Amino acid sequence: MAAVMPQLAPPPAASRLLLSGNEAVARAVWESGVRVAAAYPGTPATEIIESLARYPDLHAEWSVNEKVSMEVALGASMTGARAFCAMKHVGLNVASDCLMTMTITGAYGGLVIAVADDVGLSSSQNEQDSRYWGRFAHLPVLEPADSQEAYEMTKFAFGFSEQYETPVLLRLTTRICHVKGLVAVGAREAHEPPGFVKNPERWVMVPAHARTRIPNLYQRDETLRAVSEASPLNILEAGTDRTVGFVASGPAYMHVKEAFPNAPVLKLGFSYPWPPQKVRELAALCDKLVVVEETEQLLETEIKAAGIACHGKDVLPKMGELSPQVLGPAVDRLLGRPVPPPPPAAAPMKVFPRPPTLCASCPHMGIYYTLAQIKNIIVTGDIGCYTLGAGHPWNALDTTICMGATMGVALGIDKGRGEVDRNKRIIAVIGDSTFMHMGMQGLLNITYNKGNVTVLLLDNNTTGMTGGQATPASGKDIHGQDAPRVDLAKVVEALGVANERIKVVDPYELPILFKTIRDEIKVDAPSVIIARRPCVLIEDFKPFRPYLVEEDKCTGCGNCIEVGCPAIHVTRREKVIKPSGREVELAFVNIDNQACTGCGLCVQPCAPDAIQHVPRRDIPIHIVKT
């Protein structure tokens, strides 16, 4: 956020607080005496560092990407300081290069990595099961089932990390991160780092050194498996009804308890390495064993490989969230019990979809309104609010893959295209935060490889999609304090774009924006158009006088609707026959002046000048910022 964030005194020890999983992790990180906490925003993990930034006595930062955040945490751990980084599932893909070698060096100061899986894809481009990283990197995985456990396991993880010199993966899911529950909190314990010790065999990962340390990973797996067997985080509840027993971790445990309160359950809080002995004990207790896991068939496969018969994904869904209502009938069916049909009243009613929209006055509307009018282009996109340009009414984005991919994909299309695509112009769209996260390398690759791509760099001075976090180009740090402001035009030039091919435009100025894009796509050289206007979420955005539609002047052409602003509403539709004999549907509109913040975008395509400022005396008070 651009606003300066107050650092309030944290609530005292022994309070019971209503905390989300994210807030609970943050509190535990602070109490554990952590000195460095780093992250790049990403749903559902963003609020961990956001809330940590309000605690005193630690360095919290927005890093430019997840890989850097992990490296920062590792560096801190090398000094013996306790360190933490947090990311969403796809963030760990970015950080994985660090992870896979960091596991060999191990941790010195307690080092915890929180990774949040967006189970059910509430706000992500894919669904991934981060528990795999525990196997791949030979790292212990902890899986809390609610806020209280998120707090406790985080506290446990730091000491554990130091004891076994291992980074610890704290695996969260959306239903942990964004669910609030009561948490009994404690006091902070300071943790003074013992100091960096020169030790090249450990910290300089060249083949000779890594080779001597890799056997440690296998040794650690064995040690931790024994620890897991005895761990109080892995609880075997004997239950009373032994027809079916469950192995469950994370939120899945709650679903099991709710649907089958009397069944035996092995709750895995320390889910990797998992305890084979305890699973065998459970299997011996019950007639059938069901592994309940989100999202992939991971534990189930490993348990079967250990020679223990079990069910799981043969009856449960392989993607999305589980719930007691999914679990109950699936297991009843497995047991051959009758499954009552859901009552008819419980069928959902048919209602139109309501996808997220760009905000009224969002500068991205100007970009997509313009792109929708240019023919013969391929537009590669990226991740952020501006991904919505792929939707209605613009339909102006042709690709979206992962952070920064717009650049590489655009160059690949340029180099790979055949004769059919020869006359098309290639435009790569990217947001400012995404550009600094992973787009700069891709742009350098375009200039180096002489690509013919026009880049639209949407500089709204923030990370809009995740709620408006500062970036190196916004001149603010995580606390809203001044920070050095990187000049995007200079960065772009340094990456090899010719000075005369760098244009800075205002996305609210449609004619200039249109002309600039038209001119630049004609040039056979990489060019970058920086479209600069603040996102409405941040302080730099100052609302303007709202507009209204003069009813008698509106001809129903519907041009303004094509801007895609949620403040514009159709009041009446009418079918008319044109002199040419063609039937057209007219749509007469008004503007909700409580929602309009006066960007003026819709005014520009209105030929009869029907869109006019609201008279000053009628301006709602709440939109005039002081």
Partner 1 sequence: MSQNDITNILVCGIGGQGVMTATEILAEAAIAEGHDVKKTEVAGMAQRGGVVTSHLRFGRKVLSPQIEPGTVQVLLGFEGAEALRWSHYLKPDGLALVNNAKLVPPVVELGLFDYPEDPTGQMRAAGRRVVSFDAMSIARDLGEVRLGNTVMLGAIADYLPFSSEVLLACIVKRFARKGEQVVDANRRAFAAGREAVAKQLGAAPSENATA
Ligand X SMILES: Cc1ncc(C[n+]2csc(CCOP(=O)(O)OP(=O)(O)O)c2C)c(N)n1
Is 599 one of the binding residues for ligand SF4 (CB under 6 A)? Answer: yes
Q: Which one of the spans 249-257, 259-267, 425-433, 589-597 is the region binding ligand X (CB under 6 A)?
A: 425-433
* Tokens (6 digits) for 223: 């040690």
Residue 533 interacts with ligand X (CB under 6 A): yes or no: no
Binding positions for ligand SF4, 332-371, rule CB under 6 A: 358-362, 364
Residue 321 site contact among ligand X, ligand SF4, partner 1, none (CB < 5 to 8 Å, cut-off depends on kind): partner 1
| Contact between 152 and partner 1 per CB under 8 A | no
Considering only residues 466-485, where is the footprint of ligand X by CB under 6 A?
466
Write the burial class of residue 426 (CB in 10 Å: 0-12 exposed, 13-18 middle, 19+ buried).
buried
- The sign one gets for the Cα dihedral 353, 43, 131, 177 is negative
Among 293, 409, 54, smallest CA distance to 304 is for 293
In the block, tokens 């895609």 appear at: 564
Q: Which among partner 1, ligand SF4, ligand X, none contacts residue 128 (Cβ within 5 to 8 A by kind)?
A: none
Residues touching ligand X: how many (CB under 6 A)?
25
Neighbours of 558 (CB within 10 A): 19
Q: Is 61 in the site for ligand X (CB under 6 A)?
A: no
Using CB distances below 5 to 8 A depending on partner kind, what does residue 547 bind out of ligand SF4, ligand X, partner 1, none? ligand SF4
* Residue 91 near which of partner 1, ligand SF4, ligand X, none (CB within 5-8 Å, type-dependent): ligand X
Q: What are phi and psi of 338, to 5 degrees?
A: -65, 140
> To 10 degrees, what angle do helices 364-371 and 510-522 make?
50
Q: Locate tokens 């891709």: which residue?
A: 442
Chain position carrying tokens 């300081």: 81
Q: Which is nearer to partner 1, 358 or 513 (CB)?
A: 358
Tell me how far CA of residue 122 lies from CA of 43, 322, 546, in angstroms: 9, 14, 33
Question: 499 to each of 334, 490, 493, 507, how far by Cα in Å?
Answer: 67, 9, 6, 20
Tokens 């043969």 identify what position? 314
Instruction: Tell me how far apart the alpha carbons of residues 626 and 623 are, in angstroms, rounded to a whole number.
Output: 9
| Of residues 446-475, those binding ligand SF4 (CB under 6 A) | 460, 464
Instruction: Report whether 508 contacts 544 (CB < 8 A).
Output: no
Residue 80 or 264: which CB sits closer to partner 1?
A: 264
Q: Which stretch binds ligand SF4 (CB under 6 A): 38-46, 55-63, 181-189, 600-608?
A: 600-608
Phi-psi region of 195 (alpha: psi -120 to 50; beta: other; left: phi over 0): left
Q: Which of 155, 171, 188, 255 binds partner 1 (CB under 8 A)?
A: 255
Instruction: Provide the minimum distance between the beta carbon of 598 and partner 1 in the complex, in angstroms, as a whole number.
Output: 16
Among 385, 473, 554, 606, binds partner 1 (CB under 8 A): 385
Q: Is residue 572 a contact residue for partner 1 (CB under 8 A)?
A: no
What mask of x and - would describe binding to ligand X in positions 335 to 374, judged by CB under 6 A? Answer: ----------------------------------------
Indicate the residue type of 34. V
Nearest to 77 by CA among 160, 190, 166: 166
Cβ-based neighbour number of residue 512 at 10 Å: 13
The residues, ordered by sequence, that sit 6+ positions from 500 with a Cβ below 8 Å of its Cβ are: none
State the minimum distance, in angstroms, from the CB of residue 92 to ligand X.
9
Query: Phi and psi dihedrals of 22, rounded to 5?
Result: -60, -45
Nearest to 429 by CA among 473, 469, 370, 496: 370
Contact window for partner 1 (CB under 8 A) among 151-159, 311-319, 384-392, 540-548: 384-392
Comparing CB distances to partner 1, the nearer of 359 and 429 is 359
Q: 584 burial class (0-12, 13-18, 19+ CB within 10 angstroms)?
A: middle
Q: Does 596 bind ligand SF4 (CB under 6 A)?
A: yes
- Structure tokens, 348: 């959902």
Establish if 8 lies at the interface with partner 1 (CB under 8 A): no
Q: Smaller CB distance to ligand SF4: residue 315 or 561?
A: 561
Q: Is 96 in the site for partner 1 (CB under 8 A)?
A: no
Q: Is 598 in the site for ligand SF4 (CB under 6 A)?
A: yes
Binding site for ligand SF4 (CB under 6 A): 358-362, 364, 385, 460, 464, 535-537, 547, 563, 565, 567-568, 591, 596-602
Binding site for partner 1 (CB under 8 A): 18, 20, 43-44, 46-47, 122-123, 146, 175, 178-182, 251, 254-255, 257-259, 261, 321, 323-325, 342-343, 345-349, 351-360, 362, 385, 388, 392-393, 464-468, 537, 561, 564-566, 568-570, 573, 585, 587, 589, 594, 622
